[in-house]
Structure 1
């Protein structure tokens, strides 16, 4: 596996590009509008909703993997007719998911930096979602993965009602509550973006190692069958089938005693 992964090593700039793309998306999603608003529903869609949907599609794609993943286009040493072996294919799929992990790390890094050096305030606004209770039920359901050990990252009805944009404009208290949305966004980024891609990356690399080990075992068995004398154990057989060798001096004594 190490030999194959070295041959199919992705270029370094592709990893850098994934990190920069995640960083730019994070900065753009948290940029304030002229009214000083950051719609957390839009941020959640970009940071958690769409990435989680992409992870589900990637998981379904593993059922019937592509013949040649798109990352092979960056391998200048490979010919246009080259087809990866099964263990190489799964290793490439793992690298694709690893690129998304780096993308999520770029998002996470920018978010943590802005949390440290700026005062982020979030609110929500929607034409279709007008009932705060309904939105509370949806966000509570989305918070189930961390609800037991991180209750601060679960938004309640009071926070949702007070941080609607119409309420923020007319209430100083609501504006102060707007900064309490960051635990929910951070947990969503970890559990719906970063963690699924880490699981897919580990799964693909584990599958690649298993296929590589199976290939080596088959090659070893074929070598043993082609050279049976060199690898097959000595067949002792039954003791009665083996000839009895007696030293010459004892053989002579036995012959004389017979006479």
Structure 2
């Protein structure tokens, strides 16, 4: 196994122990005094520190990104680690057990390894470029569904109409009429992991940051899926707008969102 993948797996598992520990004890008087946002900040800082310590112990010369996405675009010979410590923190706050920890590495502008960990279900999704995607050690393939009318899709789009959100709402409405059903889980990384595993047939997302999708992107592609921007190209890393699924479902989604009202 890729040694960086081993380190990433160790890091997400130990961070997962921290996240679940405070999830299970969130009703304690000590944590209640912190307030909701202070609690998530506390948990994220603690889990982030654990991940960074593990990575730097093995790779002190590598670069780690947790929030400052803009520098990820810079060309560098150094390995970049892209971390999302708690996706989705709102679910975590509300005690909805659907969130994840994700880590990906990029080398010379290409994603090399990816890990998405669901600590509540103990599900570990991982991928190594050229070696496929696995869930808890079992090889994954994405959905082979051919018809959009039978597809279960997911999105991160907010459904309330707003001047900055009108095009996304319109696209989701078009897709809602054409697909079997929609989901909005809150965790981008888990949604993409579910596309890689065939639990979801497709994903439509807007305004993402690289830390949201870099790990899930590799999971989907190594499971035989396709990830594109809204033009069918591969510029989603810069635009933050992406569609994921098998080739036929992605093409069907692209066709629908391109249709005039």
Q: Same fold (TM over 0.5)?
A: no
Q: Which structure carries more relative contact order (alpha carbon 8 Å, separation 6+)? A: 1
Length-normalised TM-score, structure 2 = 0.27
Structure with the higher fraction of residues in helix conformation: 1
